[in-house]
Chains A and B, each alone.
Chain A
């Protein structure tokens, strides 16, 4: 088994699953089977990739056999492999959940193929080592997400989708323009080669291009002041789609920022990373304040995504501090990566719980909910643990993620930003307690039309919905209580990111530009 094939599988498997699933679009049963088989294959491939990357170091794969910087190269370093693993876990759990929630009306309009396509797009964006290819994967992901967003075709979905499509398209076009300028400056598109070339380019344009990337990825990530598409749209689609979006999509933007601002744009960190730092601080506060004003289950959760993105930006922005000790820099990046992983797990889980609550009581409005703790204590427990984890209470995963970022902030003497982070943590707890008090703790009105639903025992489909929630809950508990090996992994990943020469060396840009056509198997071309 060649090692480089492992890098290919997480992209190829969902792509194939999407194709087969479209061919069998008439049979919902076949689509469900392919959904489960395809995502378990993706999960297995992503675990294998992480193990191999941990053991062998950075793995690369040259598409079509063109050596870099000519061809497209897929690169799996620890950050990429970890993120792909999250795609695997999210894909698998959300598809299991969909078995119970995606009705025929979604299945007939290509629910499963679009899910697979989304997984392929996200995995491709995590693995590619070519900046233009990153744009292409972003578009694959966006087209799939546009279509998933309007499945069902209700009015709020349409309104949300118009904003989502417009702002994301604008972001893509800014990214495309930035890529064009990058090519003009460096004459290459391979990220490792760009990083190498930018070390020699001394032009104010470098910072201009850096800002364009920051805006483009900032829109995708949902950072202040570019997040307005997110609260308008994330609470509108079917709940499994919301959960997947909440878990994965904004994190692709965060990943791209981590990649580009550790590998390529490290010339002027005091300028660029300071902007990231303060954008992060304001992002977390605006996000959490926005959520405090809401009284709808999914909207509170979706506006909270923004506030969580703030912590990730802050972790990356800490590199701006001029007298940051090296260990603190490693801790900041490791904390940021740990935060992304923790947030993907917990956020998806909370959305899945909101779906179960909706199934029972038929509403997302907090005022219409209640009595769940009394009648369904197990469901209340399934909400309680990830909610506390999101708020950052020990010993759950959120505590360690926040602890690492905040400690790195203190060591970098960024007291004000740390204060922002602590206040945000407190307000997060307030929002979670608000959901808890209204939906779970308070008694349900006696004349509530669906009260009987609560007193009945769970049916089989509800247990199908519980399974992925329990799996993700185990993930967050394990990430918290048994966090050391995971934290070591993110520290190793931070070490890779902060020493870009490893990445550049692994991609292996040829010093002497050799003739690529000679390397083709016999008979290539005419």
Chain B
């Protein structure tokens, strides 16, 4: 892919990227009970990295994400699969939602649950899959 020459885009991307990733985390965590969730959050994060790819190039993007998209995909799929297992151990059917609400200092009550684990799995899977496709296409352009 031809390196973008736009200074504005490159500078803006540096600022936009963390904001977009933060927004994707926000979407991920508010999912389940409100609009949001792993899939759309993953798309937002992947979109942010795709923007970085347009502004810079493939090698710099690979450096940015550090992990290979394959790894993200694999870990995500694995997390989504095992999210159903804790309920099995407690005698409930697979994928039954289990909730755990520990108290943390400063944060107060935090809701942790197996659906959250599943959503994190979906999040990573979506990022991995979309980035694998986008990077493959960008490399083919080179």
Contacts and interface: CB of A to CB of B under 8 A. Distances in A.
A16 B81 contact: yes
A64 B93 contact: yes
B73 A22 contact: yes
A64 B75 contact: no
Given A5-B88, A23-B71, A524-B99, A15 B93 contact: no
A526 B71 CA distance: 33
A4 B99 CA distance: 23
A61 B99 contact: no
A23 B74 contact: yes
Contacts of A24: 74
B70 interface: yes
A41 to B, nearest CB: 14
B74 A61 contact: no
Contacts of B94: 5, 8, 12, 61, 63-64
Which of A22, A61, A524 gathers most chain B CB within 10 Å? A22
B97 A64 contact: yes
A256 B95 CA distance: 26
Which of B75, B84, B94 gathers most chain A CB within 10 Å? B94
B26 interface: no
B96 interface: yes
Contacts of A62: 93
Contacts of B77: 15, 18-19, 22
A449 interface: no
A521 interface: yes
B78 interface: yes
A523 interface: yes
Contacts of B70: 22, 25, 110
Interface in A43-87: 61-65
A19 to B, nearest CB: 4
Contacts of B81: 12, 15-16, 19
Contacts of A113: 74
A363 to B, nearest CB: 31
Nearest to A12: B81
A113 B74 CA distance: 9
A20 interface: yes
Given A25-B70, A524-B99, A526-B33, A65 B92 contact: yes
B119 to A, nearest CB: 14
A94 to B, nearest CB: 22
A23 B75 contact: yes
B78 A64 contact: no
B21 interface: no
B17 interface: no
Nearest to A524: B97
Contacts of B98: 521, 523
Nearest to A23: B74
Contact of B99 (A20, A21, A23, A523): A523
A8 B68 CA distance: 30
Contacts of A8: 94
Interface in A489-526: 520-521, 523-526
Contacts of A63: 93-95
A175 to B, nearest CB: 22
Interface in A16-35: 16, 18-25
Nearest to B125: A19
B78 A19 contact: yes
Interface string A1-18: 010110010001001101
A24 B88 CA distance: 26
Interface of A: 2, 4-5, 8, 12, 15-16, 18-25, 61-65, 110, 113, 520-521, 523-526
Closest 10 CB pairs of A and B: A22-B74, A23-B74, A19-B78, A19-B77, A523-B99, A64-B95, A65-B96, A65-B93, A25-B70, A526-B33
Interface of B: 33, 68, 70-71, 73-75, 77-78, 81-82, 84, 87-88, 91-99, 101, 111
Given A64-B94, A65-B96, A524-B97, 5 more contacts: A15-B81, A23-B74, A63-B93, A63-B95, A524-B99
